[in-house]
Copies of this chain bind each other. A is one copy, B any other.
Amino acid sequence: MDKHIDFYFDFSSPYGYLASELIDTLASHHGYTVNWRPVLLGVIFKTVGNQTPISYPLKGEYTQRDFARSARYYSVPYRMPSRFPLPTQVAARAFYWLQDQNLEAAKTFAHLSFRALFREDADISDVKTVLALASASGADSDALAAVLETQEVKDRLRSEVETALARGVFGSPFFIVNNEPFWGADRLDQLSRWLETGGY
A contacts, CB < 8 Å to B:
47-50, 56-59, 61-62, 65-66, 69-70, 72-73, 165, 168-171, 181, 183-184, 186-187, 189-190, 193, 200
A168 neighbours in B (Cβ, 8 Å): 58, 61-62
Given A57-B48, A57-B49: A190 in contact with B62 (beta carbons within 8 A): no
Given A47-B58, A48-B59: A186 in contact with B183 (beta carbons within 8 A): no
| Cβ–Cβ contact B70 & A190, under 8 A | yes
Cross-chain pairs A/B with CB under 8 angstroms, 13 sampled: A47-B58, A48-B56, A50-B56, A57-B170, A58-B165, A58-B168, A59-B171, A61-B168, A66-B183, A66-B187, A72-B200, A184-B186, A186-B186
This protein's copies in its complex: 2
| Cβ–Cβ contact A190 & B58, under 8 A | no
A190 to chain B, nearest CB (A): 5
A183 neighbours in B (Cβ, 8 Å): 62, 66
Using CB atoms, name the residue of chain B closest to A47: B57
